[in-house]
Structure 1
């Protein structure tokens, strides 16, 4: 005789469990509301006491979206007193965890339309685009507070870069620059220390940005790494004149290879990387001269000129501890953030104004900074003391 086969409708079971949890949450909150009303009235429901302070006057329905689904609350109405519950805030229609989830989805790159669909699936109630916008305004207030927070301690290493986004400007669409700065603090951790809007990467824009960082407490800067933007270099000399400038070696390679024919770029790239693979600044300088001569022999005079005129700016890192060299000679630390910014802003397309672009970029940076990115040790800053000694 064959054994009986038991089949289980998994989807139906999940639906029943979800409804059970939702109903439990609804009954629990309603019970709490009734307890609060009884305490305020001074008598149980349908009770008669001489010391009562108010009278019940039926209920009104109120919907609340929770992570377990949408529940319907029976909120007591009172005569002779105003019922104010501590269970849920007045005028609140969603549980705080739901609002936080919506904001987090938006800041991590989920589109507004997708949030509406996801909220319908998870909580049984869709969230309108207007609601998402209102929640974002609340989030942007905390983002602006984080963006302008005071900086304490020293930041011996700073990375700076700019990224362009499209925005509406006087009826036309133009690029707006957003300047971003990362610092390595005294504990050796990376920290996003600032982002601000600059219409162009001019000297005035960079100077204003650096003065803003300095005004917030940025101090102890010994080296700034970035691409060779003339405006940024000039502003750096005025604001942080004691800091050394390190030209990003990756950007330097790109500038040189742009002067090299495609069929010769692989060989030229290996030659350039050999310059920064040496054990001392003297050896790197000698190798750069050798590479320059080799490029001239290959009839690549323009590429040789770029190497001869710019290689010294790429060797600033050699004045610092050897174990810091690999991470301090490039702008890779900030390029990863730029990719995240582009990914998030690509869904928007063109921003209506510069403030909205800046707020979205700052919100994304805040989200990244509060994740594992800012908690891992990036460098052993104590090695700087050994160099000074």
Structure 2
């Protein structure tokens, strides 16, 4: 999501950039390349690079522009120079099932940004699109280590309840941590579920892992060997 190497800014990808795209879509009233925008009087006009400080160091983000200069982003304001984990915050709020109104109120409280409910709806739609792209992105051919496990978090699906989130995390050949994917469950999953997860990881390009670290769930080692 946000990454930074020492001495140079990283680039912001995924939900943060998608949120800005959602904002300008809401501002203009039409999506990129939408025929409805022809002759509308205002349209996208490229983007500009902006470096902001984050919890992981300086990050360069791409801020979309419009032709008449009336677009003023709320998530990353024009003169804002610090960004405090907006991508994690938006994913967290969406994953916990907050309503559009609750997300709007949270942004207002944390950032002082008065974002309309329609704008929040557009932004979260873009975020979900970015999450889907991330979840299905191609993976490396080989990982020295892959860790698979489940963590329990509170999610709201009608009511708040503890739900397991199944996690596959790897260490790359460059020694960097990479989250391969996240899958929500209902708690009744077993080794067969992990078989599907591992098959998905394989289908996304992983050919081998030198070590897979897991718990003692019955049938899990066999599922790993099978894939």
**Counterpart check, 1:202 vs 2:190:** yes
Could you list the runs of 5+ residues in structure 2 that have no partner in the other structure? 1-22, 24-38, 46-64, 94-101
Give 2:173's aligned residue. Answer: 186
Matched, 1:232 2:220: yes
1:114 aligns with 2:102: no
Counterparts in 2 of 1:133 and 1:234: CA distance versus 1, 3 Å: farther
Q: Is the 8 A contact 1:119 1:127 kept in 2?
A: no
Q: Mark the structure with the bigger radius of gyration.
A: 1
RCO comparison, higher one (Cα < 8 Å, 6+): 2
Map of 2:133 onto structure 1: 145
Q: Is 2:199 the counterpart of 1:216?
A: no
**Structure 2 CA distance for partners of 1:231 and 1:192, relative to 1, 3 Å:** same
Provide Cα deviations, 1:235-280, integer angstroms capped at 9, x if missing partner: 22322xxxxxxxxxxxxxxxxxxxxxxxxxxxxxxxxxxxxxxxxx
Separation in structure 2 between the aligned mates of residue 82 and residue 128 of structure 1, nearest angstrom = 22
1:94 aligns with 2:42: no
Task: Specify the SS of the correspondent of 2:208.
Answer: coil
Unaligned ranges ≥5, structure 1? 1-64, 66-80, 240-389
* Residues 1:192 and 1:104: Cα distance change in structure 2 (over 3 Å): closer
Cα offsets for 1:140-196 (capped at 9, x unmatched): 211211111011231121111112345567x77765332111112222222111222
CA 1:135 to 1:231, structure 2 compared with 1: closer, same or farther past 3 Å?
farther
Aligned to 2:119: 131
Any residues of structure 2 matched to 1:36-75 within 5 Å, and which? none
**Greater strand fraction, Structure 1 or Structure 2:** 2
Are the structure 2 counterparts of residues 231 and 178 from structure 1 closer, same or farther at C-alpha, using a change threshold of 3 Å? farther
TM-score normalized by the length of structure 2:
0.54
Distance 1:215 1:161 in 2: 20
Aligned partner of 1:158 in structure 2 is: 146
Is the contact between residue 116 and residue 129 of structure 1 (CA under 8 Å) also seen in structure 2? no
**Superposed CA offset, 1:22-55 (max 9, x none):** xxxxxxxxxxxxxxxxxxxxxxxxxxxxxxxxxx
8 Å Cα contact 1:166/1:176 also seen in 2: yes
Question: In the aligned structure 2, how far is the partner of 1:140 from the partner of 1:154?
Answer: 28
Equivalent position SS for 1:155:
strand
Cα distance 1:178–1:231, how it changes in 2: closer, same or farther (>3 A)? farther
Q: How many residues align?
A: 155
Aligned runs of 1:4-19 on 2, under 5 Å?
none
Alpha-carbon RMSD: 3.8
Shift of 1:129: 4.7
Aligned counterparts of 2:145 and 2:202: Cα–Cα separation in 1: 14
Change over 3 Å in CA distance of 1:82–1:152 after alignment to 2: closer
8 Å CA contact 1:159–1:226 kept in 2: the answer is yes
- CA distance 1:229–1:165, shift in 2 (3 Å): same
